[in-house]
Amino acid sequence: MGTVNIFENRADFEATDINDLCLLHFEFVNSKVRISQSGSDIDCGFGFGVYAAGEYNLINSEVPILGCMRPDNPCKLTTFK
């Protein structure tokens, strides 16, 4: 759990439910997402040796429906683009 601040083509995620500091910075460029991570794998709640940092293909540029991306699927989403 955490907060996401979005400004133009950037987004910053700060974890709020973990004792240590974890920040993920997203930069959206064309059809790519570049992620940088401040905080270790453990700080961010990932498994041992798992990091989010890297460049990924952007598969959907629509603004997400906040609150709908939880595992319990409160918005009854059936497909992902």
- For the chain, the domain total comes to 1
Q: What is the pLDDT of residues 32-42, one digit of tens each?
A: 999 999 988 88
At 74 the pLDDT is: 72
Question: CA 19 to CA 16: how far, in whole Å?
Answer: 8
Q: DSSP of 18-42, one letter per residue?
A: SSS--EEEEEEETTEEEEEEES-TT
At 81 the pLDDT is: 47
| pTM (2 d.p.) | 0.69
| Token pair of 3 as six digits | 């907060």
Which residue positions in the chain have pLDDT lower than 70? 1, 16-20, 64-70, 78-81
Q: What is the DSSP letter of 17?
A: S
Q: Which domain holds residue 26?
A: 1-81
